[in-house]
Amino acid sequence: MNDIPNSEALRAHFGPMSSMVERKVLKRLDQHCRAFIELSPFLVLASADAEGNLDASPRGDPPGFVRIIDDVTLLIPDRPGNNRVDTFGNILSSPHVGMIFLVPGIDETLRVNGTARTLTDQDALAGSEVQGRVPKTGIVVHIDEVFFHCGKAIKRAKLWDPASRIERSTFPSLGRIISEQVAGWSAEDADQRIETSYRERMY
């Protein structure tokens, strides 16, 4: 095995960053970052607990669901989910988070790193109401750095290419997967519960 032992060896292995890559990192949102966040219906939020155990959580809603409070502050509403609350538990232990925003049809992504806190104030969350329901909780992120990431990964994956879509019938339903992973559940019962959740508990 030929592991990289330290940061100096890491840099030597990959070579220097270009000056453009180094200088593109911002400390606050500019008009392009703002516009991208307002277009984005989906992000992945990474967090870690005090021991460094990591979690990445998808967050999605209509475009612009992440509210821009000011040039260094974002508010992410939390919608009903599975109540694992991994992200919230991690934030209590270690507030550092990282996010990747995606916009369908655009190959480039936006990366945001910062520190987070949990928000439960219903007045502050009222602006994130959907279908008459105000979220019980939100995540406030103070931005430490923000920058655009090139589209090579999206292009390699052909993520937005319609020809890359698979037929849904070629992969088992979530209910079928759960029934095979967890004893005591039938695929039909699990699928019905999931479908009810999709239909009645999105917000």
Instruction: Compute mean pLDDT per 10 residues along the chain, 203 residues long, and list them.
Output: 85 84 90 98 97 96 97 97 94 97 98 98 95 95 97 97 95 95 90 94 91
pLDDT at 158: 97
pLDDT score, position 190 = 93
**pLDDT the model gives residue 171:** 97
95 and 149 housed in the same domain: yes
| Domain span at 174 | 166-200
Per-residue pLDDT tens over the stretch 157-182: 999 999 999 999 999 999 999 999 99
State whether 143 and 176 are in the same domain.
no
Q: Whose CA is closest to 67, among 135, 160, 132?
A: 135
What pLDDT is stored for residue 1 in this prediction? 66
| Shared domain check, 188 and 99 | no
Do 114 and 152 lie in a common domain?
yes
- Tell whether 8 is covered by a domain: no
Considering the domain architecture, whether residues 118 and 140 belong to the same structural domain is answered as yes
- On whether residue 11 sits in a domain, the answer given is no
State the pLDDT at residue 69.
97
Query: For residue 12, is it within any domain?
Result: no
Considering the domain architecture, whether residues 180 and 110 belong to the same structural domain is answered as no
- pLDDT score, position 183: 82
**Do 129 and 196 sit in the same domain of this protein?**
no
User: Are residues 178 and 129 part of one domain?
Assistant: no
Question: In this structure, are strands 96-102 and 73-78 parallel, antiparallel, or unpaired?
Answer: unpaired
150 and 173 assigned to the same domain: no
Same domain, 152 and 174: no
Find out whether 37 and 68 touch, Cβ atoms under 8 Å. Answer: yes
Task: Return the CATH number at 87.
Answer: 2.30.110.10
Tally of domains within the chain: 2
Q: What are phi and psi of 133, to 5 degrees?
A: -120, 125
Examine the domain organization and report whether 35 and 130 are in the same domain: yes
In sequence order, the 6+-apart residues with CB closer than 8 A to the CB of 39 are: 63, 64, 103, 106
Beta bridge partners of 45: 57, 99
Q: Is residue 112 part of a domain?
A: yes
